[in-house]
Amino acid sequence: MKENVYKQTGEKPHKQTGMRKVLIPALLGVYDFVAIVLSYFLALWLRFDFSFSRISPAEYWTIFSHSILFYAAASVLVIWAFRLYRLLLRYIGLREIVKIFGVSVLLSAAYAVAVTLIFGRMPVSYYFGGALLQAALLTGIRMSVRLVDQWNKRKAQIQAERNRVMLIGAGDAGQMILRDIVANPSTHDVAVCIIDDDPNKQKRLLEGVPIVGRREDILSAVEKYRVDKIYLAIPSATAEQKRDILAICSETACELKQLPGMYQLISGQISVSAMKDVAVEDLLGRDPIRPDLSGVYSFINGKTVLVTGGGGSIGSELCRQIAAHGPKQLIIFDIYENSAYDIQQELKERFPQLDLVVLIGSVRDSRKIFKVFDEYRPEIVYHAAAHKHVPLMETSPCEAIKNNVIGTYKTAYAAMVHGCGRFVLISTDKAVNPTNVMGASKRLCEMIIQSFDAKIKAGRASEIPQLFTHEGCENADKDGTGRVFQSIRTEFVAVRFGNVLGSNGSVIPLFKKQIEHGGPVTVTHPDVIRYFMTIPEAVSLVMLAGTYAKGGEIFVLDMGSPVKIDTLARNLIKQAGLKPDVDIKIKYTGLRPGEKLYEEKLMDAEGLQKTENELIHIGKPIAFDQDLLFRNLSMLMSAAYANDDRIRELLIGMVPTYHPAKAGAQALKVFGASAESETDEMHAAG
């Protein structure tokens, strides 16, 4: 029972048994004896101006010396009789102090009476002075023990509340951090050790804090010095160096923070408050893409820009970047009103002078798309609208075709016949050797873009069929003369992404939510790996594609080394101060329909061409029969709008690199049939 109380209060039990029980009262009794003798001696000495020679008559000294020892001994016995030596001094309170004071006053009065009756008269000041000093010394020692104990407790509490910090980096930045910790107690930090790889700094002190080892000593130092926080203060470290250090740090349960970069060091803005949390992208092991976007912004400035899917993760960031650099008009087109509303309100607040148009609609609706292009005449289109959740598209393959393939086709066609200068398609690395419907649909989108561009360059834009389900305003060649195709100048490109950190539906937010709820964290397979990039990187690449484009390219980002999803999940758990498989369980659920262990950036037949940015490459187009593609697209659209179960077989026939886990065997047979007629259901769907 007592142990539970101690655990709840956090205090260590004081052993009051054996020798300690006897020793403390004995020492206190000796103190009281000495204090009483000293009190009356000082009172007598004070009465005669601190001079022994002036004590007169001499009987005063004789009475004092003959009486005081008996009085002091009797007082100790009386105090013991009142059981005042059994008090726990560290818990003594006002009641006990009053009791001791009262006993002291009574003893002093008894002493005055006894001395007067037995020995004779003493100066009145002797009795009053001695009584006051006696009461002060007897109560003072007991109060001081209580106060000292409270002070020690408070000191221990402050120490317990302070975060024990390990600093990585004994350079200028590290020194600034140490000084800021000392100068600002409000940070509740105390530096206990430093790690630095420089052999010349080992076993030295920086601002009084020991440098205890290199990066390989991090784990042992964390345990030895009971570290709570780790501050990475090497602003000049490369992304790979940070990744290696943070990978070691993530093996601990410590909170990790780091300096943002060199700017803070140069500007002298280094402080504990400048430290930021370690983000997941810091563990990817590559420097972020920071291309020169001046050409991009001059390309956008003064132009009308349309972003489809503008409310999504990539689309909304595109809108932010575009809005910041003076477009003539920005048009956001999205099917989901809530996300469109959110980005609308954000941009209106940040860019009040922006000519912003937000439209709700579907890229599958050719009449709506034609109306948008006819009314606003966008000069640049960033096509981000798409269904992209792999498992959902496996269970709804026709929707993937309607939205991704047919939606892209209709939007691209509308851009082409309305004088749009650039059309940039957002693609994915899942389009490479796809094993799922979503990836296959995005590969078809790339093929559509390349086919459009090839036909335009060949001066045969009129051969591109218009896929629509309603005769009327969306018919490009209304007069049947073909004049609309005589001045086509649209350049079509695609941009291929990896997984985007923090985007809607990405694995990072899912893992964080699962960790917040106490787990388990679900990983499909212990060996699954993925390429990752940040949203700003992705947007930079998309915008660069618009400026580098000559038509028909598939731009590919060098995304560095792939990351194991299992490792990523474990690092997130450790960043939360928890232990994988102990505090948070990791559950392997198996690959979902259409998923594969790894994603590729290029197909085997695609080569790489360099661009002005060494981390951005262009995949050479793969030859395919464009006319056959256009004919088959009509059949694919018919099957999608009819919700035909043969849709996967059609995809296999159209995308040679598509190899689903369970592929239909009738694909080639299906495409051997005539594709001339369209179903009535397709005509009614739009």
Q: What is the 3-state secondary structure (H, E, C) of 114-182?
A: HHHHHCCCCCHHHHHHHHHHHHHHHHHHHHHHHHHHHHHHHHHHHHHHCEEEEEECCCHHHHHHHHHHH
Residue 41 banded pLDDT, cuts 50, 70, 90: confident
Q: What angle do CA 406, 407, 413 make, to 5 degrees?
A: 85
Here the tokens at position 490 are 């649209």
Task: Tell me which H or E stretch contains 522.
Answer: strand 521-523
CA distance 570 to 565: 9
Of 648, 623, 633, which Cα lies nearest the Cα of 682?
633
> How high is the pLDDT of residue 503?
57
Tell me the C-alpha to C-alpha distance, in Å, between residue 616 and each of 40, 541, 555: 94, 8, 7
For 353-418, the three-class secondary structure string (H helix, E strand, C coil) is: CCCEEEEECCCCCHHHHHHHHHHHCCCEEEECCCCCCHHHHHHCHHHHHHHHHHHHHHHHHHHHHC
Which residue has 């088959």 as its token pair? 632
- pLDDT tens-digit readout, 191-222: 889 999 888 888 888 888 899 988 888 888 88
- Residue 359: is its pLDDT beyond 90? yes
CA distance 235 to 230: 15
Instruction: Determine the angle formed by the axes of helices 535-548 and 313-323, rounding to 10 degrees.
Output: 60
Tell me which amino acid residue 281 is.
Answer: E
Tell me which amino acid residue 495 is.
Answer: V
> How high is the pLDDT of residue 609?
74
Q: In whole numbers, what is the pLDDT of the chain averaged over residues?
A: 78
Here the tokens at position 524 are 């499909």
Look at strands 491-497 and 499-501 and give their pairing: unpaired
Higher pLDDT, 106 or 95: 106
Residue 505 banded pLDDT, cuts 50, 70, 90: low
- Residue 401: is its pLDDT beyond 90? yes
| Contacts of residue 604, Cβ cutoff 8 Å, sequence gap at least 6 | none
CA distance 431 to 657: 9
Domain architecture of the chain: domains with CATH:
2-159 (no CATH), 162-278 (3.40.50.720), 294-475+482-501+533-559+600-619 (3.40.50.720)
Backbone angles phi, psi at 168, to 5 degrees: -105, 110
In DSSP terms, 115 is beta-bridged to none
In DSSP terms, 497 is beta-bridged to 428
- Residue 118: is its pLDDT beyond 60? yes
Q: In what order do the strands lie in the sheet with 229-232?
A: 205-206, 209-213, 189-195, 163-168, 229-232, 255-258, 276-277
- Residue 187: is its pLDDT beyond 70? no
User: Dihedral sign, CA of 502, 508, 511, 516?
Assistant: negative
> How high is the pLDDT of residue 396?
93
Calculate mean pLDDT across residues 386-394.
89
Residue 277, helix vs strand vs coil:
strand
Whether the predicted model's global pTM rises above the 0.85 cut: no
- pLDDT tens-digit readout, 537-556: 778 777 877 777 777 888 87
Percent of the residues in the chain that have a pLDDT greater than 70, as a whole number: 76
Instruction: Give the distance, in angstroms, between the CA of residue 268 and the centroid of all CA atoms in the same chain.
Output: 25
Of 283, 295, 329, 174, which Cα lies nearest the Cα of 511?
283
